Amino acid sequence: MNNPFAGDNTRIQRRETAARWALRMGSYTVVFLTVSIFLFITFKGLPHATKPGFLTELTSTLHVIESKSGEIIQTGPAQADAMKQKLGDQFVSEKTISYSGGGILGPIVGTALLVLVSVSVALFLGVCCAIYLSEYAKKGKFLETVRLAILNLAGVPSVVFGLFGLGAFVLTAPVLTNAPADRAIFVIPLGFTNLSFQGWDTCVLSGGFTLAFVILPVIITASEQCLQAVPQGFRETSMALGATRWQTIWRSVLPFATPGILTSTILGIARAAGETAPIMFTAALAFKDKLPWQKDLPPLPADAGMFAHWEQSVQRFLGIFTESVQALPYHIYTLAAKIPQNEYSEQAQYGSVFVFLILVASLAATSIWLRIHLRKKYKW
């Protein structure tokens, strides 16, 4: 039975229904666009990404050779001359497309190294900062200023981080050397060597440290929220049993905050892997014909001892982080903006984008799996 004293709610109900459908259609639109982009990139990039050698070969110049019979042959620089000699009089024309041949092993390796360095630095600094802000810092103007600075850092354009990395790491960072460069800002003699502020040049270290500052605000903010989400009773109980503040943090707080911290770290990895502007100034090259660990070193004498071989191995390992590298975002940018566009460069573009999209999606899936797995392990 209808309430005779109730007012007319028809207009309110219509507004509620319209608002609900507007929000629903907005959500459906976002999902539709996301799926459409993914399917389009898959359709365009999957055929090229599954070609033999695309994931296992280094980037090279693509040579497209046409014969009189109309046959189109795609080959690399090493095989181009042999192929033309084999065709003989059947050879008609040859076209070269830079960066579109071979595979993307170099960019994949370079991206992995940059992400490894950036996450290692950002995770250590970010978690330390979050612990201080959450567990040690007293509420006041200083704490508010630090948090405001973190928020401002999150809003800085990535190209500004690139210029910062160029000045701070490429041109200024300190190195230990016996022969300081002329461009060194100043040199501190240490007796056995010199501490020269001459920078690290463009290399994995410079790019990794720059990317670390790009993702640092995300890790600090997320880690602090995860620490604050741990019930205060855990801290009080631990300290009531005689534990120090650090023992309480290490044993009773961090384990329960770890799922959220790792999730934010994985999302930070996805952002670091996708940045282009910071690494343009600090680490990335458009082309490199060797992997970072394939650096040429002077051969050792035949009678070299075990220590000499060990020293060369260490030098080769450390040299990985002092080499410039290719990276997937910069490789895609080079293919799209730095060379004339044609069907062959387009294939390389979409193949690289597809692989990059799968890598980012894998990182996101890993973050979800870590969150579910660790939340089952640590419950309160």
Tens of pLDDT, residues 38-80: 999 999 989 888 888 888 888 888 888 888 877 788 888 878 8
CA distance 274 to 294: 25
Closest residue by Cα to residue 280 from 342, 334, 227: 334
Location of structure tokens 């016996």: 178
Confidence check: pLDDT of 132 > 80: yes
Confidence of residue 365 (pLDDT cuts 50, 70, 90): confident
Instruction: Specify the pTM.
Output: 0.85
Cα–Cα distances in Å, from 266 out to 161, 361, 374?
Answer: 20, 11, 14
Chain segment 221-279, per-residue pLDDT in tens: 888 888 988 888 888 888 888 888 888 988 888 888 888 888 778 878 888 888 888 98
CATH number, domain 105-288+324-349: 1.10.3720.10
Q: For residue 180, what pLDDT is reported?
A: 83
Confidence check: pLDDT of 8 > 70: no
For 237-270, b where at least 16 C-beta lie within 10 A, e where not — what string? ebeeeebeeeebbeebbbebbbbbbbbbbbbbbb
CA distance 186 to 173: 11
Confidence of residue 295 (pLDDT cuts 50, 70, 90): confident
Average pLDDT for 137-147? 85
Cα–Cα distances in Å, from 312 out to 122, 204, 295, 324?
Answer: 30, 20, 11, 20
103, 55 contact by CB (below 8 A): yes
Closest residue by Cα to residue 111 from 278, 351, 317, 295: 278
Confidence check: pLDDT of 306 > 60: yes
Cα–Cα distances in Å, from 326 out to 116, 133, 169?
Answer: 15, 37, 18
Chain segment 182-203, per-residue pLDDT in tens: 888 888 888 788 888 888 888 9
Letter for the amino acid at 68? K
- The residue ranges of every structural domain in the chain are 61-97, 105-288+324-349
